[in-house]
Chain A
Amino acid sequence: MKLGIFVNKETKAIVQGITGTQGSFHTKLMLEYGTKIVAGMTPGKGGTEVHGVPVYDTVEEAIKKHDANASIIFVPAPFAADAAFEVLEAQLKTIVIITEHIPVRDAIQVMNRARQQGAVIVGPNTPGIITTNECKLGIMPAHVFKRGVVGIASRSGTLTYEIATGLTVRGLGQSTCIGLGGDPIVGLSFVDVLREFERDEQTEAVALIGEIGGNFEELAAEFVSTEGYSKPVVAFVAGKTAPPGKRMGHAGAIIMGKTGTAKSKIEAFEKAGVKVAEKPSDVARLLAEELGRQRV
């Protein structure tokens, strides 16, 4: 049985920007979690090693010598789009972009190319993706997650750890937890992830953690109400107190005029029959209720 979505035991990843502080530190933590990191790359550092992982100058070279199907990018913002193009050209299909502050124009170009090649981009500006006990391709603290039944899609980092902890404490645990990313342009939407979780056998319920800005939450609500969804979905939306026109930390967390308010998102979810948690701790409680009811 294939467990979780996008990444699992079969994921073999390269780390782009492996010799940087972040890249090297998190390569160690990912290896400790059991993630298969087969190679790293940093232009000019080819021939060295980081935590036992061989480093190459180009992705082409790394791919020739190692069998890889995913990449995680820690490259600084001005060079991150280039790193993404390089790995897209090598036909890798799952790419996690941790880098923050990538210009919108660059992100649009990357998403265009990824769409043409049928590649999945997680991020940018994301904590990454984790399929519990199988693969962690990201910077999230592993200890808050535990093998379980709830799939999480989120637009934030620490808030996700908060809610994931709640699920762990209640014994529900997680199947796959995926950070969509805090930028205005990101590769995956809630709808994309809902589709995947629908097909995933490990996932019994889904938590969507949204925030102000954009309309991914509204689109998810529309998807659930028009297409129907076989698994319980609970949502939380951060930013009820956010004033319009101000960026709340994330580049993508901004109310433009009247679009992107928490109110609009919460109303859309409620209209679609998706339960909305008032506080982060309510997410686990509501999911437990929903799952309990379903099991009866």
Chain B
Amino acid sequence: MKLFEFEAKAIFKRYDIPTPSGGLATNPAEARDIAIKINTPVAVKAQVLVAGRARAGGILFANSPKEAEKATEKLLNMRIKGVKVQGVWVEEKVSAKKELYFSVTVDRSNRCYVAVASSEGGVEIEEVAAKTPEKIVKVLIDLVYGFRQYNARQVAKRLGYSGAQMLDLASILLKHYQLAVEQDAELAEMNPLIEKPDGKFVAADTRIIVDDNALYRHPEFRKRPFEEAELTPQELEAQKTGLAYVKLDGDIGIIGNGAGLVMATLDAIQLYGGSPADFLDVGGGASADMMSIALNIILSDPRVKVIFVNILGGITRCDEVANGILEARKRVGFTRPMVIRLVGTNEEEGRRILTDAGIHVLDSMEEAAKKTVEIAKARGE
């Protein structure tokens, strides 16, 4: 789960890591009051989760409380990559002598946490890694022993600092590591971590992605502001019902069981010249309940011209799946065409049930994908 900048900043502050002073505003008057309190030029930053906020014009600067008010009004009337801005973070504009990068994230292949630092902050770390890999410092962390004081000093040293500044920076990095582990962060990042002209450090922009599977340990994230604005109605419904759903740009609705199989189904649709409207995994069971929820989600997307249901019944019996589909169709009551691929235990019975109900059933996933694309094309003309 991605946290908003204002949420991440509050956590960094709680761990005693210096951040620019600032506040959250949901209307221009609030922004003005915050700017008055800060009493320096400010940055007004749209609180959205989508990437590329700055490039999309989501960060404005203001030299006076009046300007901050105007900037806020402008941002609150804006959509950034389709997402309506619901709040802005107004903070002290920090001047930088140098911009650094630091993050703690998960190293999948080494099965551990890794600290990543660079003297080239403020840009995408992947670009730095690609162009100038020598400017990246990586420390693999053994969770038993942790990221220790000497590790932090070593990183600060390699970023070019010594003496009191090195110690100062190292203490920030240590707290950052503690934050990442305690908050179950998949990613905790300071980018840029700014060295100010007076030599002090401040985390000017921060990002935290919390491990979804660890949310039960963090009840404070259960109810969050603005989050719903980030999701489409379909995504919201899927989230409520616990289905894995991702909205895509095409016109062919896809339902399948198992993440890998659904991904392969999308790929097959594209291979035959079609364009999937979604990724939707109903999970292993594919019960009548799950099927009707899934069909409802897909059908609430008006772009969907045809639905492809790809079920490989493993231990689940195909006759049960078939009845589930019929039950779901009855409940949802829809008229758009549907192609079903159904194989597995009791598949003859499953196929008979659906064929009797006038639904065409195929047993090859690829043929079914081809057929679906044909129907979508015919209906597009």
Contact = CB atoms under 8 A, between A and B. Distances in A.
Contacts of B214: 103-106
A237 B154 CA distance: 40
A133 interface: no
Interface residues of B, number: 52
A96 interface: no
B261 A156 contact: yes
Interface stretch (B3-11, B25-33, B252-260, B348-356): B252-260
A212 to B, nearest CB: 7
Chain B contact residues: over half helix, strand or loop, or mixed? Answer: mixed
Nearest to B343: A165
A124 B106 CA distance: 16
Interface stretch (B64-72, B276-284, B321-329, B372-380): B276-284
B213 A240 contact: no
B109 A216 contact: yes
A112 B279 contact: no
A224 interface: no
A241 B248 contact: yes
A256 to B, nearest CB: 8
B330 interface: no
A268 interface: no
Contacts of B268: 279
Nearest to A218: B109
A213 B262 CA distance: 15
A108 B267 contact: no
Contact of B258 (A106, A108, A157, A165): A157
A273 interface: no
Interface in A114-130: 115
Contacts, number: 171
Nearest to A280: B264
Contact of B276 (A101, A109, A216, A241): A241
A61 interface: no
B365 A280 contact: yes
A155 interface: yes
Contacts of B266: 239-242
A39 interface: no
A111 B111 contact: yes
B79 to A, nearest CB: 18
Given A160-B260, A241-B276, A249-B279, A139 B213 contact: no
Contact of B184 (A105, A156, A213, A216): A105
Nearest to A257: B126
Contact of B366 (A240, A262, A279): A279
Interface in B230-275: 244, 246, 248, 256-264, 266-271
Q: Which 8 A-B pairs have the closest CB atoms?
A: A156-B260, A249-B259, A158-B258, A159-B260, A103-B214, A141-B314, A238-B263, A158-B261
17 contacts: A104-B213, A105-B214, A139-B315, A156-B258, A158-B284, A162-B264, A184-B106, A189-B109, A211-B263, A212-B263, A240-B267, A249-B260, A249-B262, A253-B260, A257-B124, A279-B366, A280-B264
Given A108-B113, A162-B312, A248-B244, 9 more contacts: A158-B284, A158-B312, A213-B108, A216-B108, A238-B260, A247-B212, A251-B213, A253-B259, A259-B126
Interface of B: 51, 106, 108-109, 111-113, 124, 126, 142-144, 181, 184, 186, 211-214, 216-217, 244, 246, 248, 256-264, 266-271, 276, 279, 281, 284, 312, 314-315, 343-345, 364-366
